[in-house]
Each structure stands twice: as C-alpha cells, then as structure tokens.
Amino acid sequence: MSLKVFCFLLSAVLMSGCAQKSEQRGYITIGALLPLTGESSDEGLRALNGLQLAKKEINQSGGVLGKTLDIIVLNDRGDEEYILRQYSALKERGVAAIIGSSYSNVTMALAREAERDGMPVISPTATNPDITRGRPNVFRAIFIDDYQAEAMARFAYHSLGARTAVVLKNSDEGSYGRITEPFARSFAADGGRVIAVELYAPADDFADILGKYADSPPDLFYCPENYMPAANLVNAAYAAGLHKTYLLGTDAWDGLLTYVYQPEAMENAYYSAPFCFDDKDEVVARFVRNYFTAFSQMPLTGSATAYMCVYILAEAVKKAGSTASGDIVSAIKSNELDMITGRIKFDENNNPRQNVYILHIKGGIYATYEKMSL
C-alpha cells in the first residue's frame, strides 16, 4: 500500500470517528422505564404519551443546551426483577437520567439499584414515601401517600360531612396497605370514627365485605387501590344498593371509569390526584390542548406527571450545564419550577409539595370537585 493511500484511509477513518462523536455530541439522552405491557400497561402508555409530548415541545424550542433531547423508552413489564435488566440496558446506552416507573413496588426496585450508581431517577406516579427517603438521587413528580391520605381524610370530614368510615386495606403490605394508616389517623384526629378495617385481596369482588354493612352502612368506604380493583369496588357497591355511601380512593383510581359498568355508579365516588385536565390555569389548558391534539384523548395524572418529569430533567441539565449525574441531582434539588401541577420545589426527601385535586366522575366525565393544599 502506498503512503498516499494509507494516509487517505487513515484520514477517512479519523473523519468517520469524528463524525460519529459529533453526532453523539448532538444529543442529550435520557431513559424511561414504564409498564407498556401487562395489566399495568394503561398507566404506562399514558405516561409514554406525556414523555413524547414533552420531548417534542422541548426540541421544537431548541432542545437542551443546543442539543436534541432523545428519550430511550424500555418496557419494564411492571416486574421488579425485569426492570433491573432494563435498567442495565439503559446504563449501557449511556443515558444521563431515568424516568420511571409508574408503580411503587417496581420503582422501589429501580431506586435501590440506581442509588448504588448515583443515577438520577424520577418517577411520574410512584407514591410510596420510602422510594425517595434517604436516596439523594431519586425523585418523584407526585405527592406521597401520606400527604394525599391526609388530604382525603380532611375532605371526607369537612366537605362531605362524613363521620363514620370503614377502611378497606390491601392484605399485601407492600402494595397499597400502608396508605390506610395516615387516612385513619387524620380522619380520627378531625373527629371521625373508623368503624372497622377490612382486609381484602386485590382479586376480591368486595361483595362479601360490603354485605356486612348493607343494613347499617358507614358514611364512607376508603380504599387506596389500583383502578381495576377500585372499579370492582364501585361496581359491587352499586350492585349492593349502597348508593348513599361515599367511596373514596387515591390517585391510582385514575382510569377506573373504563372498568365501571354503569357511569351512575360513580355518583358518590371521589379520589385524590395531583392533576385534573379541567383546571382553568392557562399553562394547564395549553398542555391539555396540545395533548388532545396529539393523542385525541384527555390527559390523566400519569400523562401529566410524566410530561413534567421530562421538563424537570431538561431544566436540571440546562442549569447544571452538564449531564454528569451529580450535577443533575444538585440542579434538580435547587430548582424551583412552575409546572402544570403548580410550583415544584423538592423537600429534604425529594418529594414535591403540590395541590391535591379531589376528582369526581359525574355523567361519565372526570372533573375537579375541590382543589386542596395542606
């Protein structure tokens, strides 16, 4: 090979390498782990829509630090073991931070692993306080369980005039069971009385439990659960003729309307959420318009908080001027941002303090019944 040919080939290789590096420098990449298949997929797909909309808006506005924002989304299947494999895959892809997951048990597994690496993680909808407690690199874009339970107890006593309650507690303490305690404590502190705590399994149809109270029903049943078991409760209460007893739940009830047989069964059902699309604030209204234009449906909580997660990370990278993990974490902690759920500033345990919307589904439509702040 002649010297000229060798130099030409070497130059081509170097230029190719420089082009690849230049292309890589043109992107800031974050990862997302969401349940996109299985029984949790409704929530994951709503979050995916929110991510896509935020990414599009940010890139149309010039990206992040002059670079294109990219989001690698992997399916975590709602599985505590599988999410760790997917987390490793994202690390290998060199992501700067991770959004995920949708539910607390899976997010807890992710948080424990990410804590070892210092990887910035922010969950759109995981509400268990222990996920972020003591983990400086793990955040959430939603209130914690205790906060929403206390808000719902106050709403029940002061706004609904409820004085007696039966608390329905998931027998799996690792799931929604722990949320019942702050509700019962707050309800009693206001002057209410918890008649009983009834244990159930998520697959229960609630008919046997509700039958115990058919002759002398309490003012309310409080059931912190996912939307599918919650729909079973609503359907069973309606079938049992408990039409005057309030049914109260948490943010995980978002989406239950799809699984309720008769819309009128929701007349006395209320649940807490950090977001509702009927808020008249112009920032919220613009988000709702853009979301509906993109997906032909109205956004629920998971869509809104996932959308916020992208902006929280993008603003942190901008403030830090860096994609180094420690710099992003420090910037998230120090940032104060006006977002679609209100002004976001993280406390010592990386939890935002937000408004609580009490949602009521009337005539088949989600609507704000009351907006609260503790």
Q: What's the rounded Cα separation, in Å, for the pair 121 and 336?
A: 18
On whether both 59 and 123 belong to a single domain, the answer is yes
On whether both 34 and 81 belong to a single domain, the answer is yes
- Identify whether 111 is part of a domain: yes
On whether both 234 and 249 belong to a single domain, the answer is yes
On whether both 136 and 161 belong to a single domain, the answer is no
- Identify whether 269 is part of a domain: yes
Answer whether 354's CB lies under 8 Å from 127's CB: no
Q: Which domain holds residue 261?
A: 146-273
Of 267, 255, 262, 195, residue with least CA distance to 229: 255
What's the angle, vertex CA 370, arms to CA 366 and CA 373, rounded to 5?
125
On whether both 64 and 182 belong to a single domain, the answer is no
On whether both 28 and 136 belong to a single domain, the answer is yes
On whether both 91 and 156 belong to a single domain, the answer is no
On whether both 184 and 211 belong to a single domain, the answer is yes
- For every one of its 374 residues, what pLDDT tens digit does the chain have, with 9 covering 90 and above? 444 443 443 344 333 444 333 334 599 999 999 999 998 899 999 999 999 999 999 999 999 999 999 999 999 999 999 999 999 999 999 999 999 999 999 999 999 999 999 999 999 999 999 999 999 999 999 999 999 999 999 999 999 999 999 999 998 765 577 889 999 999 999 999 999 999 998 788 999 999 999 999 999 999 999 899 999 999 999 999 999 999 999 999 998 988 998 888 999 999 999 999 999 999 999 999 999 999 999 999 999 999 999 999 999 999 999 999 999 999 999 999 999 998 999 999 999 988 899 999 888 889 999 998 77
- Identify whether 311 is part of a domain: yes
- Identify whether 61 is part of a domain: yes
On whether both 204 and 298 belong to a single domain, the answer is no
- Identify whether 321 is part of a domain: yes
Q: What's the rounded Cα separation, in Å, for the pair 21 and 343?
A: 38
On whether both 205 and 299 belong to a single domain, the answer is no
Which residue, 239, 273, 307, sits at the end of a domain? Answer: 273
The CATH number for 85's domain is 3.40.50.2300
On whether both 139 and 285 belong to a single domain, the answer is yes
Task: Report the number of distinct structural domains present in the chain.
Answer: 2
On whether both 266 and 157 belong to a single domain, the answer is yes
